[in-house]
Amino acid sequence: MISAVWDKLQELFYPNFASQQTRLLKELLKVVRLEVIKRLQDSLHQDLLQVNQFLELPMEEQGEEVGRSQRQKVIPLPPETKVIEAFQREDVAGRLLILGEPGSGKTTTLLQLAKDLIDRAQRSDRAPVPVIFELSAWKNDQQSLEEWLMAQLKDNYSIAEPISKQWLKNHQLLPLLDGLDELGIPRQRLCVKAINQFLQQDIRRRLVVCCRRQEYREGEEKLHRLNGGYCLQSPDKSEIQGYLQRLGKSELWDVMQANAQMRELAEKPLFLNIMVVAYQGEAITNEEQLLAAYIDERLRLPLDRNNYPQGVPYKDQETRKWLTYLAGRLEAESATEFLIENMQPYWLYPGGERLAYRLIFGLSFGLIFGLIFGLIFGLIFGLIFGLIFDDFSTHNLSYDAFEISWNGLIGLILWMMGGLMGGLIVGLVGELIVGLIVGLMGGLIVGLIYVFKTEIQAREIPNQGIKASINKTLILPLVFSPLLYLVYLAPGVDFDGIESLRLYLGVVLILGLMMGARDWIPHLALRLILYQRGVIPWNYARFLKYAHDRKLIQQVGGRYRFLHDTLRKHFAGIVSLQSAQN
């Protein structure tokens, strides 16, 4: 209801609001382009000697994977075949399934497809904007795919659901779904049904799904509404040998000839490139040894002295421990991405840690209330509140609607001043104070619409949600303060000087608590306790940048992921989650 009223107000004060959707779509295209380029630059395949420039991965067309006749032949495709060519085939018509083994380059292939589709969208306004969605974020098995896509667009880019709904209806978005295998077989089946239903509802809809081959087949439920199934194949011996020779690594091929385990590992492009970088002459017999060698090599990399003038800021043992804990949390939640502001209170141990969290949470609010009602009363209230507080469920920040820029604040002030001028004119006819209140309220409403109008807001900086929450705490009470002061000046209102000041400050502080402090105070309490346990660093953003510079973590704005899912699973498997927490 409130959202609908807000949209109507925006349309009233922005007659061309509907036409702004085109501008927003172009902004989304720019944001998505930067994300895709950044991920390609940071990917293992690109970082490790740019695999796609040296090793073309063969594909097979496997129509039976999307419900075609089992008698249809598996068709090997030439190594130089690009995935965009398969996508654009008339019989595929933009409905494509990409399969492959772990480490075969599925996500890199999907990113390359996204880049080609972005180039096409930049050339033609009629081409849809490709957006990559992580199916690991699929949490509600009862929702439709359309509902989930709209929720993801709102969460990731602050796009209002009415706008994204219209884009999907008009086929202006092209969803690229990655990580179907992350859901587990039972939930994977339900998700496949939702995808099929989404495609069945509109024959013009286009969509790409990326999944591991084994998990897809074990799920049994087919994506029969897709038109083409393509599976990435492992390079054969001659392709591996030629690749290593072109890199000047013929001696590594000689080692593989004598080591069957290494030769088998090299059939996966991911591991082949890790060998090229990390192999130091010691025998490698399995994936864990190879990934451990890769981590050792990355931690030995020289750092940029401009960014790290005092040398290495963290011990290797700390880096491993903190990344192990992070990987364990992501695995436990079937997630691939991490945002600092999305740390959850249920990460705390039952007992002492949760009690400490409740006390910090309660006493912090008690101190604030103590400024209004007296310190002793506030602390007692905070202590009682903290003791009875027992909500350790998922806590999501709705930061997007309150991203305020300096230009927005200036606009708000100008609208409020204009409202006061109008109110002054009205007041010359009637009651002055009534005119001022009405004018200021009108200016405030229009100004807020100006400040909070729809914009594309990707998570561009680390911990952006918490920083926006602090901004709400500090800024919005100041915005509403003039209104409160005019109420104080209204005829018939008689407040004692000290008492009225206390009441005034109290209302302002309560507004701050309601608007933002309820987010960032619990977040800081959570981080303090996890830091004391030793499973996270004090400055998480600084550490994650360090891990990014070490080529272990990929960073896109305020979002983080391990450089490859296999690397994340390796860290999570070093010890169990329970051992990592201890």
- Between helix 565-574 and helix 316-332 the angle, nearest 10°, is 110
Instruction: Tell whether pTM > 0.75.
Output: yes
Tokens found for residue 204: 């013009």
Residue 45 lies in a domain: yes
Residue 280 lies in a domain: yes
Tokens found for residue 95: 């409905």
Residue 319 lies in a domain: no
- The residue range of the domain holding 254 is 237-299
| Per-residue confidence (pLDDT) for residue 580, from 0 to 100 | 43
Q: Residue for token digits 């840690």?
A: 353
More confident residue, 103 or 329: 329
Please determine, for residue 474, whether its predicted confidence score (pLDDT) is greater than 80: no
261 and 377 fall within a common domain: no
Task: Decide if 210 contacts 176 (C-beta within 8 A).
Answer: yes
Please determine, for residue 289, whether its predicted confidence score (pLDDT) is greater than 70: yes
Query: What pLDDT band is residue 160 in, cutting at 50, 70 and 90?
Result: confident
Percent of all residues in the chain with a pLDDT value above 70, rounded to a whole number: 64
Please determine, for residue 238, whether its predicted confidence score (pLDDT) is greater than 60: yes
226 and 242 fall within a common domain: no
216 and 119 fall within a common domain: yes
Q: Which of these three, 526, 543, 576, is where a domain ends?
A: 526
The CA dihedral of 182, 48, 272, 251, to the nearest 10 degrees, is -170
Residue 311 lies in a domain: no
More confident residue, 258 or 208: 208
Lowest-pLDDT range of 262-266, 343-347, 383-387, 404-408: 404-408
Q: Which of these three, 481, 499, 526, is where a domain ends?
A: 526
292 and 372 fall within a common domain: no
Residue 517 lies in a domain: yes
Tokens found for residue 283: 């025998």
Cβ–Cβ contacts within 10 Å for residue 69, how many? Answer: 8
Q: Which of these three, 209, 232, 255, is where a domain ends?
A: 232
Per residue in 359-405, pLDDT (tens digit) is 777 777 766 666 566 666 666 665 666 556 655 555 555 444 445 54
Cβ–Cβ contacts within 10 Å for residue 155, how many? Answer: 16
Per residue in 270-288, pLDDT (tens digit) is 888 888 888 877 778 888 9
Query: What pLDDT band is residue 491 in, cutting at 50, 70 and 90?
Result: low
Please determine, for residue 546, whether its predicted confidence score (pLDDT) is greater than 70: yes
- Cβ-based neighbours of 44, under 8 Å, separated by 6 or more: 270, 273, 274, 563, 564, 567
Query: What does the mean pLDDT of the chain come to?
Result: 77
Q: What is the mean pLDDT of residues 17-46?
A: 82
145 and 252 fall within a common domain: no
437 and 504 fall within a common domain: yes
141 and 196 fall within a common domain: yes
226 and 258 fall within a common domain: no
288 and 375 fall within a common domain: no
Residue 400 lies in a domain: yes
171 and 217 fall within a common domain: yes
Tell me the β-bridge partners of 338. Answer: 560
Please determine, for residue 412, whether its predicted confidence score (pLDDT) is greater than 80: no
Residue 563 lies in a domain: no
Query: What pLDDT band is residue 29 in, cutting at 50, 70 and 90?
Result: very high
Query: What pLDDT band is residue 355 in, cutting at 50, 70 and 90?
Result: confident
Residue 133 lies in a domain: yes
Considering only the C-alpha atoms of the chain, give the largest distance between any 2 of them, rounded to a whole number of Å: 98
Q: In total, how many domains does the chain have?
A: 3
Q: How far is CA 574 from the centre of its chain?
A: 25
465 and 405 fall within a common domain: yes
| Per-residue confidence (pLDDT) for residue 543, from 0 to 100 | 95
425 and 282 fall within a common domain: no
Question: What is d(CA 116, CA 110) in angstroms, rounded to the nearest whole number?
Answer: 10
Q: What is the CATH number of the domain that holds 110?
A: 3.40.50
